[in-house]
Amino acid sequence: MIKFLIKGILRDKSRSLLPVIVVSLGVFLTVFMSGWMKGVFGDMIDMNANYSMGHVKIMTRAYAENEEQIPNDLALLDVSSLTEKLNKEYPDLEWVRRIQFGGLLDVPDANGETRAQGPAAGRAVDLLSAGSKEAERLNIPKSIVKGRLPQKQGEVLISHEFAERFGVELGDDISILGSTMYGSMVVPTFQVCGTINFGMAMLDRGAIIMDITDAELAFDMCDAAGELLAYFKSGLYDDELALAIREDFNNKYSDEADEFSPQMVRLRDEATLKQYLDMADNMSAMMVSIFVIAMSIVLWNTGLLGGLRRYTEYGVRLALGEEKGHIFRTIIYEAVIIGSIGSVVGSALGIGVSYYLQENGIDFSAMMENVTMMMPTVYRAKVTPELFYIGFIPGLLAMTLGNALAGYAIYKRKTAQLFKELEV
Amino acid sequence: MNDMIIELNQLTKRFPVGSGFFTALTDINLEFGKGEFAGLVGPSGSGKTTLLNIIGSLDVPSDGSATVMGKSIASLNQKQAANLRNHNIGFIFQTYNLLPVYTVYENVEFALLLQNMSTNERRKAVMQALEWVGLTDKEKSKPSMLSGGECQRVAIARSMVKKPEIVLADEPTANLDSKNSHHILQTMQKLNEELGVTFIFSTHDEKVMQYLKRKISLADGKVVNDELVSMLQ
């Protein structure tokens, strides 16, 4: 019987083609949109994790309260000892120190006089230690436009846009007008070894990247760090584990009465990011729900039209001794076959396009010149295992549900009444 | 021993119409034995098709009884009624009603798919049925490639392939020209004689009436005449 049904489906294009197209299109949109959203939100999440949040982050309670002001005077102290403890207690995590700072970049001329000045956001990470993943984590090697990574102390990278604007060349000296963690003004000088384009409007306007040891020396922050970030060694953010670690750490180390006591936050605690993550989850669920409802209605009508067109066939089959229940079941079998074909085609197309956009992405930089949020300018889709079923199951479900609703009308008719309507 | 395969006693059929009822058949008393070649004749609305539907277990009487192959139609559940049609009753329709996307072979084979026969058994039965109607060379053709007469012969093969005791033919020649009508009727007559299958026609076609051995005239849902034609001739 199944063979008989498949022959019918393959030969009767009006029975199969439209539903397959409808299901394929719906599944394609669901899979692609899901992959696209996963990619876009995933990029934002990764970017936030890599650049500022880590999977979990430790700051002093006071620093955390004024984090947007980068108050290095409230930085963590005795970081080596803390890191040692953390490595023992949380072996799933890899800990890194970060120092952020703001200041005025001063570009001197040949005589040491100021040639140009501009505000800059600085970031000090571990670039020189053997085995450090920080450069890759911040995507620095791929973001270098000219020059190279710092190879020794005293070398820095600056944003390419800043360098172009102020005519800074590789090998030029630049100074930073800033302050130490104890409040004294300092003007350390560094040599530019490369320019960098992050692809993030906010950073590309004026950024300086240096090794953490340079920042420690420049800002008098020996064995101190504004932030202590940690990443799961698996590379994947695990929210449940992050939550458990946060609770454990804060119970052990954080003291509400001591503003210098350390406090841990997880990636999802970042307010904007939390909204993004919640929105991503909700949108995926909403999209799948809307798809199933909309497709079911469309396919219900398609099924009804198909059912009307095939009334004669059903009548003949009744006369030949097929039960109404069996006819209903064959309608469902057909729906499952057509739904499967449509879902496979739709999923393959959706995954294919998502993969293409994962590899190539779409560059929105021209539209984001004035954006101040930390967000990527090149958006990519992301192919995840979820894409293999997120469209397939709803596609199959919608087709089956639509046809079941249409078939139910036939099933509920009295045989004689149906036979009359069938006009056999 | 009762050798009647169809017995209709005081059969009445009413259909709800608005707040009342329309009586399509009234007090029908008929019996059909094995191997009959009978026709229900009468104008449109006389109740021919309703009677065929009840005999074919597609409908049930409102009053009285209809017994087919020893089974009371009114007492059959849906599954039993379908089983009766599947094994004991064949239908032939005015408009052939072949499934257009399937070949001649597959159209005839379909009736057997419901009987869980093996492929070889099905093949043998289908080819035999096509041989009865002289269409073995058309087994791979689609209905759209056949003439009206050939389509109706396929429909006959489809109704006969499961070797039913009863074939119900509703205006089988209405869409055929004279030559094809005679060809079809001769084919059915041959099957009736050779296989002993009971044929019951619903018709008002004079050509069909020439072949009938028994003619039952209906008017306004009542039997007005029941005669054995061959005995009269």
Residue A354 binned pLDDT confidence (cut-offs 50, 70, 90) = very high
pLDDT mean over B42-65: 91
Residue B1 binned pLDDT confidence (cut-offs 50, 70, 90) = very low
Q: Give the C-alpha separation, A193 to A127, whole Å.
A: 13
Chain B nearest C-alpha distance from A395 (Å): 26
The beta strand positions in A109-163, using DSSP E, are 114-125, 144-147, 155-159
Q: Give the C-alpha separation, A396 to A299, whole Å.
A: 11
What integer pLDDT is reported at residue A413 of this predicted model? 64
A–B CB contacts, 8 A cutoff, strictly below: 74
Residue A289 binned pLDDT confidence (cut-offs 50, 70, 90) = confident
Q: Give the C-alpha separation, A410 to A173, whole Å.
A: 84
ipTM of the complex: 0.83
Chain A nearest C-alpha distance from B172 (Å): 12
Whether residue A13 has pLDDT greater than 90: no
Candidate ranges A348-352, B44-48, B147-151, B204-208; pick with highest mean pLDDT? A348-352
What integer pLDDT is reported at residue A364 of this predicted model? 77
Chain A nearest C-alpha distance from B92 (Å): 9
A377: CB partners within 8 A, 6+ apart: A199, A200, A201, A363, A364, A365, A368
From residue A244, alpha-carbon distances to A82, A180, B14, B42 in Å are: 19, 35, 75, 87
What integer pLDDT is reported at residue B214 of this predicted model? 94
Helix (H, G, I), strand (E, B) or coil at A223: coil
Q: What is the pTM of this model?
A: 0.66
What integer pLDDT is reported at residue A387 of this predicted model? 87
What integer pLDDT is reported at residue A370 of this predicted model? 57
Q: Could you tell me which residue, B1 or B179, shows the higher pLDDT?
A: B179
Nearest by CB to residue A320, choosing from B59, B60, B85, is B85
What integer pLDDT is reported at residue B13 of this predicted model? 94
Contacts for A368-371 with beta carbons within 8 Å, 24 or more apart?
A368/A201, A369/A201, A370/A201, A371/A201, A371/A202
Q: Give the C-alpha separation, A151 to A140, whole Å.
A: 13
Residues of A in contact with B111 (CB under 8 A): 320-321
- Interface check for A315 against chain B (CB to CB < 8 A): the answer is yes
Residue B89 binned pLDDT confidence (cut-offs 50, 70, 90) = very high
Q: Give the C-alpha separation, B230 to B233, whole Å.
A: 5
Residue A368 binned pLDDT confidence (cut-offs 50, 70, 90) = low
- What confidence tens digit (pLDDT) does each residue in B108-121 have? 998 898 887 899 99
In this structure, are strands B214-219 and B198-203 parallel, antiparallel, or unpaired?
unpaired
Whether residue B225 has pLDDT greater than 90: yes
Cβ–Cβ < 8 Å for A19, A338: yes
**Cα-to-chain-centroid distance, residue B121:** 24
Chain A nearest C-alpha distance from B168 (Å): 10
Interface of B with A in 38-67 (CB under 8 A): 53, 56, 58-60
Cβ–Cβ < 8 Å for A196, A64: no
- What confidence tens digit (pLDDT) does each residue in A55-93 have? 999 999 999 999 888 899 999 999 999 999 999 999 999
A398: CB partners within 8 A, 6+ apart: A23, A26, A291, A292, A295, A296, A299, A339
Do the Cβ atoms of A419 and B93 come within 8 Å? Answer: no
Whether residue B231 has pLDDT greater than 60: no
Residues of B in contact with A323 (CB under 8 A): 78-79, 82
Tokens found for residue B10: 């005081």
Do the Cβ atoms of A415 and B59 come within 8 Å? Answer: yes
What integer pLDDT is reported at residue A410 of this predicted model? 67
Provide the residue ranges of all domains of chain A, joining segments of one domain with +.
Answer: 2-47+274-423, 56-236
Interface of A with B in 14-33 (CB under 8 A): 15
- In A, minimum Cα distance to B52 occurs at A416
Chain A nearest C-alpha distance from B139 (Å): 16
- What confidence tens digit (pLDDT) does each residue in A151-166 have? 999 999 999 988 998 8
Whether residue A266 has pLDDT greater than 50: yes
Beta-bridged to residue A157, according to DSSP, are A194, A209
Residue A375 binned pLDDT confidence (cut-offs 50, 70, 90) = low
- Interface check for B145 against chain A (CB to CB < 8 A): the answer is no
User: Whose CA is closest to B195, among B231, B215, B167, B171?
Assistant: B167
What integer pLDDT is reported at residue A9 of this predicted model? 84
Whether residue A373 has pLDDT greater than 60: no
Whether residue A279 has pLDDT greater than 80: no
What integer pLDDT is reported at residue B233 of this predicted model? 42
Do the Cβ atoms of B99 and A316 come within 8 Å? Answer: yes
Q: Give the C-alpha separation, A368 to A202, whole Å.
A: 10
What integer pLDDT is reported at residue A401 of this predicted model? 82
Q: Give the C-alpha separation, A197 to A147, whole Å.
A: 12
B76: CB partners within 8 A, 6+ apart: B57, B84
Do the Cβ atoms of A320 and B102 come within 8 Å? Answer: no
- In A, minimum Cα distance to B90 occurs at A320
Chain A nearest C-alpha distance from B102 (Å): 7
What integer pLDDT is reported at residue A235 of this predicted model? 78
Whether residue A424 has pLDDT greater than 60: no
Q: Give the C-alpha separation, B233 to B228, whole Å.
A: 9
What integer pLDDT is reported at residue A419 of this predicted model? 60
Q: Give the C-alpha separation, B213 to B226, whole Å.
A: 11
User: Whose CA is closest to B29, among B211, B218, B167?
Assistant: B218
**Residue A135 CB-half CA count within 13 A:** 20
Candidate ranges A2-6, A310-314, A411-415; pick with highest mean pLDDT? A2-6
| CA torsion through residues A67, A69, A74, A76, sign | positive
Which range (A5-9, A342-346, B36-40, B225-229) has the least confidence? A5-9
Tokens found for residue A87: 């490595």
- Interface check for A310 against chain B (CB to CB < 8 A): the answer is no
Do the Cβ atoms of A321 and B99 come within 8 Å? Answer: no
- Interface check for B86 against chain A (CB to CB < 8 A): the answer is yes
Residue A116 binned pLDDT confidence (cut-offs 50, 70, 90) = confident
Which range (A70-79, A409-418, B25-34, B39-48) has the least confidence? A409-418
DSSP secondary structure letter of residue A218: H
Residues of B in contact with A4 (CB under 8 A): 102, 106, 110, 113
Q: Give the C-alpha separation, B186 to A399, whole Å.
A: 48
Whether residue B223 has pLDDT greater than 90: yes
Chain A nearest C-alpha distance from B82 (Å): 4
- Interface check for A148 against chain B (CB to CB < 8 A): the answer is no
- What confidence tens digit (pLDDT) does each residue in A306-329 have? 667 777 788 888 888 888 888 888
Cβ–Cβ < 8 Å for A296, A405: yes
Residue B52 binned pLDDT confidence (cut-offs 50, 70, 90) = very high
Average pLDDT taken over every residue of chain A: 85
